[in-house]
A and B are shown apart, each in its own frame.
Chain A
Amino acid sequence: MSKVNRIMPVALSPQLFELSLLLVSVLAGLVGALLGLGGGVIIVPALTLLFHVPIRYAVGASIVSVIATSSGAAATYVRDHLTNVRVAMLLEVATTVGAIGGATLSHSIPDRALFLTFALILLYSAGAMFRKRRETMLSDASAPRDPLATRLKLHSSYPDRALGRDVAYFVTGVPLALSLMLGAGVISGLLGIGSGALKVPAMDSAMRLPIKVSSATSNFMIGVTAAASAGAYYMHGDILPLLAAPVAIGVLLGSWAGTRLMTRLNATHLRKLFVAVLLIIALQMGLRAFGVNIR
């Protein structure tokens, strides 16, 4: 035991260690909710870079917190009639298969590959956040309907508060969306993140869903996708109670507060600041992939 203590970089008491994990997780949940990212994008780098935890435990703790935030918030999106339940269920076919594949893959590829993939996803997220999302080009209402989407009853409408009326939309590109979602599922299962940043564009551009509908539907799906890999991680024994407990509670508290703050806060400036933070984290995760440790 004394040998173990000498290896530890900073000797924190268990209570202090858990408290600092909790605080970092509250922050991750808060920022994640404010920016529309999940907490996972912040939790995994925090656990590996700050606390030097093995990445598979970081991923295990993070994926549980992803379920907590998604399941806690789903009611809000469903209530506002923005979620397309059928689209969600259909795409979950692809995301769950992908997530299981990702969880399996994570046990057979080297940690360095995980760090590198994470760095790339962070770069992508930073880019996606920097670009302003344009309103989706909705399908022409007079154009012939996509027969597959019609057969699957995916066309629907949503209440637009700004316009004060229901807006009908027509879904297309089901096969493309399914294959993109398979990829999003793999990334979610591999890295322990919700990967909403990958799901939303797939629905915007492939299926031509209105932005509000794709955001709400993505949030609805994230919990189910995360459960598919979390189940595998749990049963494999990668979810450490001492890590996952403060992370789950912290992220839950943080995202709860963040959702309430969001309506009162202008996130534009925060967004720009956070693009810089994401780039720094991406760099550090990338460096870890090549064996460079900055302590």
Chain B
Amino acid sequence: MSRATSRAAEDADLLRAELWISRVLRWGVLLSGSVIAVGLAARLLGIGTVHQRSDALIAAITAGREIAGPAVPTGAGELLAGLRACDPDVVIALGLLLLILLPVARVGMTVLLFLAERDWTYLVITLFVFSMLISSLLLGKAL
């Protein structure tokens, strides 16, 4: 019986911590959504410098054609350079990247949670998921 009670308490702790993480994530979604909106507004109002004009780009993709090269800068250096040049696409890209990294952060925080709980089985499980998320970023570059 006492084992069952401690399991229930453990579950409740886990849920409480995940609730906190979820709330942080919700703010993250709001933040990334705002960054994306700012970048999009700048793009449409013609603020900043862009590599390719919006009308030409839209004309190409709505004709079903793929554009040459990657759609967004992916390296940290390129992103920083784009930001310094006030490229609205880079602002949007940063917002999108933040959004993509939110679940990665969730899993990262859960890894720490299981480490603190000394739950080795789930530490290994969450570490595996975390490493999959990181390797997907590396894999995309190599594809």
Interface flags for B71-98 (1: CB within 8 Å of A; 0: not) read 1101000000000000011001101110
B9 at the interface (CB under 8 A from A): no
Contact of B133 (CB < 8 Å), options: A54, A231, A243: A231
Q: Which of A12, A81, A231 contacts B58 (CB 8 A)?
A: A12
Interface core residue of A90, A92, A246 (most chain B CB under 10 Å): A92
A272 interface residue per 8 A CB criterion: no
Tell me if A169 is interfacial: C-beta within 8 Å of chain B. Answer: no
Q: Is A90 a contact of B29 with CB atoms below 8 Å?
A: no
B96 to chain A, nearest CB (A): 6
A241 adjacent to B89 (CB under 8 Å): yes
Highest count of chain A CB atoms <10 Å: which of B28, B54, B71: B71
Interface residues of B, dominant DSSP: helix
Shortest CB-to-CB span from A19 to chain B, Å, is 9
Contact B136 A231 (CB under 8 A): yes
With CB as the reference atom, state the residue of chain B lying closest to A97: B132
- Residue with the highest number of chain B CB atoms closer than 10 Å, among A17, A230, A233: A230
Write out the residue numbers on chain A whose beta carbons fall within 8 Å of the beta carbon of B106. Answer: 71, 74, 223-224
Is there an interface contact between B107 and A245, defined as CB atoms closer than 8 Å?
no
**For residue A130, which residues in chain B have a CB less than 8 angstroms away from its CB?**
none
Interface string of A46-88 (1 = CB under 8 A from B): 0000011110110010001001101110110011010101100
A268 at the interface (CB under 8 A from B): no
| Nearest A residue (CB) for B23 | A75
**How far is A15 from B42 in the complex, measured between Cα atoms in Å?**
11
Mask: chain B, 1-38; 1 = CB below 8 Å from A; 0 = not: 00000011011001100110011011011001100110
Against B, the Cβ 8 Å flags (1 = close, 0 = not) of A215-241 are: 000000001101111111111111111
Q: Is A248 part of the binding interface, using a Cβ–Cβ cutoff of 8 Å?
A: yes
Interface size on B, residues (CB 8 A): 73
Contact B72 A241 (CB under 8 A): yes
Docked-complex contact B25 and A75, CB < 8 angstroms: yes
Minimum C-beta distance from A108 to chain B (A)? 9
> Does A110 interact with chain B (Cβ within 8 Å)?
no
Interfacial chain B residues near A236, Cβ < 8 Å: 70, 140-141, 143
Task: Find out whether the CB atom of B57 lies under 8 angstroms from the CB atom of A244.
Answer: no
Closest residue to B92 on the A side, CB-wise?
A241
**In the complex, chain A residues whose CB is within 8 Å of the CB of B28:** 71
A226's nearest neighbour on chain B, judged by CB, is B103
* Contact A72-B103, Cβ < 8 Å, known A5-B59, A93-B125: no
How many residues of chain A are within 8 Å of chain B by beta carbon? 76
Q: A85-B14, A245-B39 are in contact. Are A74 and B128 (CB under 8 A)?
A: no
Assuming A79-B19, A100-B136, A229-B136, is B43 touching A241 (CB within 8 A)?
Answer: yes
Least distance between B90 CB and chain A CB atoms (Å)? 8
In the complex, chain A residues whose CB is within 8 Å of the CB of B63? 4, 7-9, 52
Known: A85-B14, A96-B129, A236-B70. A18 touches B136 (CB 8 A): no
**With A4-B63, A89-B110, A232-B136 in contact, is A78–B103 under 8 Å at CB?**
no
Residues on A facing B (Cβ under 8 Å): 1, 4-5, 7-9, 11-15, 17-18, 51-54, 56-57, 60, 64, 67-68, 70-72, 74-75, 78-79, 81, 83, 85-86, 89-90, 92-93, 96-97, 99-100, 103-104, 107, 151-153, 156-157, 223-224, 226-246, 248-249, 252
Using a CB–CB cutoff of 8 Å, the interface residues on chain B facing chain A are: 7-8, 10-11, 14-15, 18-19, 22-23, 25-26, 28-29, 32-33, 36-37, 39-40, 43-44, 54-67, 69-72, 74, 88-89, 92-93, 95-97, 99-104, 106-107, 110, 121-122, 125-126, 128-129, 132-133, 135-141, 143
What are 9 A-B interface contacts by the 8 Å CB criterion? Answer: A1-B59, A52-B62, A54-B61, A90-B125, A96-B132, A103-B136, A232-B140, A239-B93, A240-B57
Nearest first, the 3 A-B pairs at minimum CB distance are: A237-B70, A235-B140, A232-B140
A240-B71, A242-B89 known; 11 other A-B pairs, CB under 8 Å? A8-B59, A9-B63, A54-B65, A75-B22, A78-B19, A85-B110, A86-B14, A235-B74, A237-B69, A242-B43, A242-B57
